[in-house]
Chains A and B, each alone.
Chain A
Amino acid sequence: DVQMTQSPSYLAASPGESVSISCKASKSINTYLAWYQEKPGKTNKLLIYSGSTLQSGTPSRFSGSGSGTDFTLTIRSLEPEDFAVYYCQQHNEYPLTFGSGTKLEIK
């Protein structure tokens, strides 16, 4: 199985700042990496797939990069609604596997 190592597990930032979250795969997953946002009372939201493709409706301040084993989610100019938990997931092969999550909190 592909192990996904996500870091940091916790991140504190202020609105307007930019942050980055890392996700590393235990072997190459080409560009098949998705990012999700989890917020209380809302269904999980697909933000980015295939490493860098924004899902319809995802604000342009979100961006994804990387290929092979190293990937990054960057959120520029944080908005209040961006404070949430973020997960990466490889969708290159079964079994699908997720990172352990990053909780982004307001500083």
Chain B
Amino acid sequence: EVQLQQSGPEVGRPGSSVKISCKASGYTFTDYVMNWVKQSPGQGLEWIGWIDPEYGSTDYAEKFKKKATLTADTSSSTAYIQLSSLTSEDTATYFCARVAVATGFDYWGQGVMVTVSS
């Protein structure tokens, strides 16, 4: 069974960074691109970017290029997103989601709530 298990809620101070993990199981981690999606409180979904775990290649939405850094550890089948220079605008739930070719996001993590607070 495919599962994407994300780490627990995070609280970050303004100006600091947080790093969230997404551990994949039930499939070959390097066979699928992993995406990250942001959902601000009471809002819709925003695509942040993707990482190809096999090659480490990445792509980001323009507004997240200086905010998010995507990495992957193939030895542990875990994808990460680091959010830097936190502001109140970064308070949101962050999801990892696997994508298969031309099918959309077929599996999602449960989401991680990040709260930015002093």
Contact = CB atoms under 8 A, between A and B. Distances in A.
Contacts of B47: 95-98
Contact of B108 (A34, A44, A49, A99): A44
A95 B107 contact: no
A49 B62 contact: no
Contacts of B108: 43-45
Contacts, number: 55
A101 B106 contact: no
Nearest to A87: B45
A94 B108 CA distance: 19
A94 B99 CA distance: 13
On chain B, which size bracket covers the interface?
Answer: 20 to 34
Contact of B45 (A43, A45, A50, A98): A98
B104 A91 contact: yes
Interface in B39-56: 44-47
Contact of B103 (A44, A55, A98): A55
Contacts of A91: 99, 102-104
A34 B35 contact: no
B105 A98 contact: no
A44 B44 contact: no
Given A89-B45, A95-B61, A96-B35, 9 more contacts: A43-B4, A45-B108, A46-B107, A53-B103, A55-B103, A87-B45, A89-B104, A98-B44, A98-B46
Tell me whether chain A's interface is mostly helix, strand or loop, or mixed: loop
A46 B103 contact: yes
A44 B102 contact: no
25 contacts: A32-B102, A34-B103, A34-B104, A34-B105, A43-B107, A43-B108, A44-B95, A45-B108, A46-B103, A46-B106, A49-B103, A49-B104, A55-B103, A87-B44, A89-B45, A89-B104, A89-B105, A91-B99, A91-B103, A91-B104, A94-B61, A95-B47, A95-B62, A96-B47, A101-B45
A5 to B, nearest CB: 12
B59 A94 contact: yes
B87 interface: no
